[in-house]
Amino acid sequence: MSAPPRRSTTGLRRFLDLEQQRGWMQGKLILRDADARVESPELRFKYVAKFEKLMRRPQAKEVLEILGRYGHDCIPIPRRTERHYWSVSCLPSTPGKALIRVNASWMEFFALYADGENGIRANFIVHLSDFTTGHSLLAEDVDHSFLERCVRTPEDVGCFFPRGEDIFGVKVRGFASIARFLKTPRALRAIRAFNLTHMNRGRNAYQASHCYSLADHMLTD
């Protein structure tokens, strides 16, 4: 009797085994990325006008700085996986009027919005169980005290519940609180864990909306 055919390897498992992924998620392993990027000149040109429009916004400097931190700290081997396993959109036309949005597979990871005339606010999509007591899957078990410790003031953080099992949304207002959230070890591990989950699901469905001009700022060393 012949052995069953092996399933084809999908997602990040093409590049990183589970031990490497776990080590990166926990901050114990620095992954070796590709030295160069593979680009589509046509796609780069397609979103230049939108990028220039974003750069005229008063929030532009803060958007680029936060994006740089997110690209460096929250996406594994970002050069090797650019566009095909994650993408960043500039002024996407979907509801909500986001300034930028980061996606992988069929899932939104992260988005930045204008907050008032000059400020920014962020939406992080993560696993609910990483922000509850005892890794519960119940909304009433959200650890609000921990969320408040991740930002400068309690008023800077809120939450929402997207559809889907073990999915949770964190809203953070203000550049300083967004930066602090990204630096908090437990929050960063949770962001990385969620991103790994969905990057392992296969190719990115949003490749056609990838803005290389924004990605330039996410992939600087």
Q: List alpha helices for the chain, DSSP H.
A: 18-25, 41-46, 48-55, 60-74, 78-81, 144-149, 175-183, 185-199, 212-218
Residues with Cβ < 8 Å from 168, sequence gap 6 or more?
A: 125, 126, 127, 128, 130, 131, 142, 159, 161, 162
DSSP-assigned beta bridge partners for residue 160: 169
Least confident span in 28-32, 52-56, 180-184, 217-221: 217-221
Least confident span in 4-8, 57-61, 88-92, 157-161: 4-8
**The pLDDT of residue 155 is above 70:** yes
How far apart (Å, rounded) are the C-alpha atoms in residues 202 and 116? 37
pLDDT of residue 10: 80
Mean of pLDDT over the chain? 93
pTM equals 0.93
pLDDT of residue 31: 94
pLDDT of residue 202: 87
pLDDT of residue 20: 97
Query: Count of H helices and E strands in the chain?
Result: 9, 6
**The pLDDT of residue 93 is above 90:** no
Tell me: the pLDDT tens digits for 113-145?
999 999 999 999 999 999 999 999 999 999 999
Give the phi and the psi of residue 86 in degrees, each rounded to 5: -155, 160
Tell me: the pLDDT tens digits for 6-36?
455 788 999 999 999 999 999 999 999 998 8
